Amino acid sequence: MLKIYGRANSINVRKVLWTADEIGLQYTREDWGRGFRPTTEPEFLKVNPFALVPVIDDDGFVLRESHAIVRYLAAKHVRTDLYPAGLARRAEVEAWMDWGQTELHQGARAPFLGLVVKMPAFQDPKMIEFGIAEWTRQMEMLDSYLAGHGPYLMGEDFTLADVPAGLSVNRWFSVPFDKPELKAVSAYYDRLAERPAYRRHGRNGTP
């Protein structure tokens, strides 16, 4: 059976849990990472020498990196609705996923770690302010895009493109700071919440 390594409150583990539930997979999960067993323990380093969650063990096949994992699971279970078979559409999904993990996530890091996790290394107000400005800029672009395209990032249907963005949107609404009103992003957040798997692993009260 599929085994998922990683704490269920990690944004990257949640991508895997959400996708696994969308596919309808059975799995076991073991808590590793901040607040649980450290990923620097030798037992964990055997599955990921880079000491990060998530990792999966799929009947002996071990894989790290959340985006590689969700694409592997969707491809393995032939979920072309989530991860299209056509090269061009597939590449567009991948572009959204890359954007979600780079441009969109970069700004979110300091406000989340500073204001929610309260990590001592992220208490510089200038760093938090800079992160908020960058995160807001990306979210405003997302808002304009959704207003003109939507209802999902790839158009009519939910795909893996929505997984990284959907979790960032949940975090955006959950981290306490003054935000502009983003109507299309709010509607997208409500639309995603129609999905039981997103309510379990995305919009579940955890930032």
- Residues of this chain that interact with ligand GSH (CB under 6 A) are 10-12, 33-34, 39, 52-54, 65-67
Between strands 27-30 and 55-58, the pairing is unpaired
Tokens at residue 22, please?
């969308």
SS3 label, residue 78: coil
What's the number of CA atoms in the CB half-sphere (13 Å) around residue 79?
Answer: 20
State the minimum distance, in angstroms, from the CB of residue 105 to ligand GSH. 9
State the minimum distance, in angstroms, from the CB of residue 44 to ligand GSH. 9
Q: Sort 4 into a burial class: Cβ within 10 Å, 0-12 / 13-18 / 19+.
A: buried
Of the two residues 57 and 65, which places its CB atom closer to ligand GSH in the complex? 65
Beta bridge partners of 29: 4
State the minimum distance, in angstroms, from the CB of residue 181 to ligand GSH. 28
Q: Give residue number: closest CB to ligand GSH.
A: 33
Q: What is the distance between the alpha carbons of residues 190 and 167, in angstroms, rounded to a whole number?
A: 13
Of the two residues 106 and 144, which places its CB atom closer to ligand GSH in the complex? 106
State the minimum distance, in angstroms, from the CB of residue 58 to ligand GSH. 15
Of the two residues 34 and 183, which places its CB atom closer to ligand GSH in the complex? 34
Of the two residues 71 and 195, which places its CB atom closer to ligand GSH in the complex? 71
Of the two residues 112 and 152, which places its CB atom closer to ligand GSH in the complex? 112
In the chain, where does DSSP find H-type helix? 11-23, 42-45, 66-76, 87-101, 103-111, 125-148, 162-174, 183-192, 196-201
State the minimum distance, in angstroms, from the CB of residue 55 to ligand GSH. 8
What's the number of CA atoms in the CB half-sphere (13 Å) around residue 170?
Answer: 23
Of the two residues 58 and 191, which places its CB atom closer to ligand GSH in the complex? 58
State the minimum distance, in angstroms, from the CB of residue 40 to ligand GSH. 8
Question: Residue 9 gets which letter from DSSP?
Answer: T
What is the layout of strands, in order, in the sheet containing 61-64?
Answer: 27-30, 2-5, 55-58, 61-64
